Amino acid sequence: MLTRSPASNNPLDRLTAAGLAWGEGTYARLAAPIGAAAFALYILLTAVTAWFMPDANWDMLPYLAVAEEGAYPDAQALHDYAYGTVKAGVSAGDYKTLTDDGGGFRSHMAENAADFHSLLGMYRIKFLYAEILSTMSSVMSPVEAMRVVSVFSVLLFGAIALLWLRAEGALALAPVVGAVLIMADFGEAARASTPDLLCSALFLGGLLAYVRGREVATAILLFLAFMARPDNIVFLAIFAVLLVAFQQKAWGALAGFAAAFVAYFAISHWAHHPGWWPHLWFSSIEQHYNMDGFDPPFSVAAYLRAFAASLVRAISLNSWVGVSVLALSGWYALSRAGYRLDRRAGILLAALVLGVLAKFAVFPIHDTRIYFPNLLPPFLLLAGPIMALWASARVNGRHPTALQVIPGDKP
């Protein structure tokens, strides 16, 4: 049996209880500004880290090459440019890590311009990111441009998240959102010189526009997110199917999908993308050194091995599975308590969850960054129901009280 803790006659205990009650009351009154300030501080610290402690990852090399290949039509000249630019922009230790792995893939690519050039189709397809880098490289060093894009993406992502919470009257939950971002490896995504976080910020903005009924902004932002990472076509397709199936009027999202659908084939052809199966083979089965003409026959066994290996790595090494399960648990608990999402938000939540599952099924790769755009929005969708539950508890006077188990009582 659970009962309230008996009142204490100890002066220290009474003082402690009074201090905790004062702190609880003060935080309850100032929860929104405190939450917003704490979240803003976290975003600023992440942006500072992205600038001063960037992650020197190998993908920098092909992205920089793609951004400037118009100025270097010769494969060897483009190779020299990319490697020389990165060498000038990172530390000697980082450059050695990027170019010397004891005779493996990185060592080979550092010495073979033709093979390096053959990989660019898999990076050229990230059209928006490459164009931004190309434009910015005219006024600053290319490596510095990558860091600027990362910092901008962090700040934009944080600002949109705060706007979403403010629209829901849920700024008090901002520290919880920050904790979710920590679990989802937001800091790692911020430090990486890739288009992942830029895509996530544009994607989050598009979803907020959808929730608020801003159809033009929805179409533009979701299309731009697709242009940053075309694999978002998977989510857009599922979202469009659900909107049509449930007869939800949302022409902005449908227009964004239609534009992305047409652009996907055009960009893939222009970029000389090797195709789904060769790209999957390279990413999840075996790194192939030259992708020109590489077209291995499809193998169900090879796909299933890649799927199983990625699933094991995702569960044991990455966080996106746990974060997704946490979001689903929160949705289920709130629904059971009678605080359900409205129709528009419910369709979006379903699309986000199915989008993660479909993306993994289509292209089984374990990295959290691939699924990051879909991880935070479910929690933001649940912010409104959580605040409604909180308000109901306060109105009904159901404040938390300390409980203890009485030994010998039956449960």
Whether the per-residue pLDDT at 305 is higher than 70: the answer is yes
| End-to-end CA, the chain | 5
Q: Is the pLDDT score of 20 beyond 70? A: no
How far, in Å, CA of 332 to CA of 329, rounded? 5
Residue range 31-40: mean pLDDT, rounded: 92
**Tokens coding 350:** 């379903």
What is the mean predicted confidence (pLDDT) over 49-64? 95
Determine the Cα–Cα distance for residues 357 and 371; give it in Å rounded to an integer.
Answer: 9
- Which residue, among 328, 410, 310, has the nearest Cα to 370 in the 3D structure? 310
Say what the pLDDT of residue 323 is: 95
The mean predicted confidence, pLDDT, of the chain is: 90
Tokens coding 292: 């020109």
Res. 11 pLDDT band, cuts 50 70 90: confident
37-41, 67-71, 213-217, 358-362: the lowest-pLDDT one: 67-71
pLDDT for residue 31: 83
Residue 370 has pLDDT above 70, yes or no: yes
Give residue-wise pLDDT tens across range 116-154: 999 999 999 999 999 999 999 989 999 999 999 999 999
Residue 1 has pLDDT above 50, yes or no: no
Q: Give residue 17's pLDDT.
A: 67
Residue 403 pairs with which residues in a beta bridge? 4
Is the distance from CB of 198 to CB of 335 less than 8 angstroms?
Answer: no
CA distance 229 to 198: 9
Closest CA to 117 of 48, 183, 161, 69: 69
Annotated domain spans of the chain: 29-391
Task: Using the predicted structure, report yes or no on whether residue 163 has a pLDDT greater than 60.
Answer: yes
pLDDT score of 217: 97
pLDDT at 73: 85
Q: How far is 365 from 352, CA to CA, in rounded Å?
A: 18
Nearest to residue 388, comparing CAs of 136, 173, 141, 135?
173
Instruction: Write out the two tokens for 393.
Output: 């508890």
- CA 82 from centre of chain: 27
Above 60 in pLDDT, residue 197? yes
**pLDDT tens-place string over residues 225-262:** 999 999 999 999 999 999 999 999 999 999 999 999 99
Question: Using 50, 70 and 90 to split pLDDT, how confident is the model at 160?
Answer: very high
pTM (two decimals): 0.90
Residue 6: pLDDT above 60? no
| Tokens representing residue 357 in the block | 């599952």
Amino acid at 249: K
* pLDDT score of 377 more than 70: yes
Q: Tokens in use for 124?
A: 């050229």
Name the more confident of 25 and 31. Answer: 31
Checking if the pLDDT of 397 tops 70, the result is no
